[in-house]
Amino acid sequence: MKVLILGGTSEASALAKALSEHDMPAVFSYAGRVAAPKPQPLPTRVGGFGGVAGLAAFLMEQRITHLVDATHPFAEQMSRHALAAAERCGVAVIALSRPPWAPALGDRWQRVSGIEAAVAALYGPSQRILLAIGRMHLAAFAARPQHHYVLRLVDRPEAPPPLPQHRLTIDRGPFTLEGDLALLQAHGIERIVAKNAGGQGAVSKLTAARHLGLPVVMIERPALPRRREVHSVKAVLAWLAHGAAPGVERGV
């Protein structure tokens, strides 16, 4: 048995810790998006595989038997590639993910289907907006240049984002309610744009928005093909222990 973990999330790190404690042969993979990724207690590789063909070649070369897709719920392409490559190679595959957030009493969410819909939702007069969506799709918001954006990013970008009015706040989670209330109030934020990532590390901005009565444009997750998916490290360990069948297990 040899496991490949596709990482970039706290769930992936928790699984790496558990596999290392169980002395299970495993490799950890990062896309290489952040300057200083968290060190892992497993052999680690960094960078894209080169599409489905590249990942399939890696699975074969490394004699991987089990693939755990523990990427972020918005890492759609990697998740699709994982399913395709595992099917091609007869490798058992499972997704380890966080359940999405659901609105609670007092929340003022406008749920949208993707980045373009989030941009469309920001019509109207100038507002002060916390754009908490990472760095990949910031350019799309140049279509709404009337707003003043506060961007929360893990690393300082090499080039300034193409948004005429913006401020950067460089920080990585987990975030706290106190910290996020202070951030929203210090910048006079009137609206938040967020991705429905789920989990604890970034939920405090939503709790803070509820406290302050702020509206949230919530970008819902991309749809993926049906796949075996669990929400805990324990469930992945059980899957590994109980002889996961190779290939994509559909209809679960």
Tokens of 19: 């596999």
Q: Between residues 37 and 212, which has the closer beta carbon with respect to ligand NAP?
A: 37
Smallest separation (angstroms) from ligand NAP to the CB of 242:
25
| Cβ-contact 232, 109 below 8 angstroms | no
Q: Could you give the C-alpha distances from 126 to 10, 34, 142, 146, 165, in angstroms and in order?
A: 35, 31, 13, 5, 11
Smallest separation (angstroms) from ligand NAP to the CB of 106:
26
Which residues would be at the binding site for ligand NAP (CB under 6 A)?
A: 6-9, 29-31, 33, 48-51, 54-55, 71-72, 74-78, 81, 134, 136, 195
Q: Between residues 81 and 152, which has the closer beta carbon with respect to ligand NAP?
A: 81
Smallest separation (angstroms) from ligand NAP to the CB of 49:
4
Q: Between residues 212 and 221, which has the closer beta carbon with respect to ligand NAP?
A: 221
Enclosing H/E stretch for 3: strand 3-6
Smallest separation (angstroms) from ligand NAP to the CB of 28:
9
Smallest separation (angstroms) from ligand NAP to the CB of 111:
17
For 135-190, where are the E strands, in sequence order? 148-153, 166-170
DSSP SS3 for 143 = helix
| Cβ-contact 244, 227 below 8 angstroms | no
Enclosing H/E stretch for 27: strand 26-30
- CA distance linking residue 224 with residue 82, whole number of Å: 11
Q: Between residues 55 and 214, which has the closer beta carbon with respect to ligand NAP?
A: 55
| Cβ-contact 66, 244 below 8 angstroms | yes
Q: Between residues 77 and 185, which has the closer beta carbon with respect to ligand NAP?
A: 77
CA 238 from centroid of its chain's CA atoms: 24
Q: Which residue is nearest to ligand NAP (CB)?
A: 48
Enclosing H/E stretch for 117: helix 115-121
Q: Between residues 133 and 183, which has the closer beta carbon with respect to ligand NAP?
A: 133
Smallest separation (angstroms) from ligand NAP to the CB of 142:
19
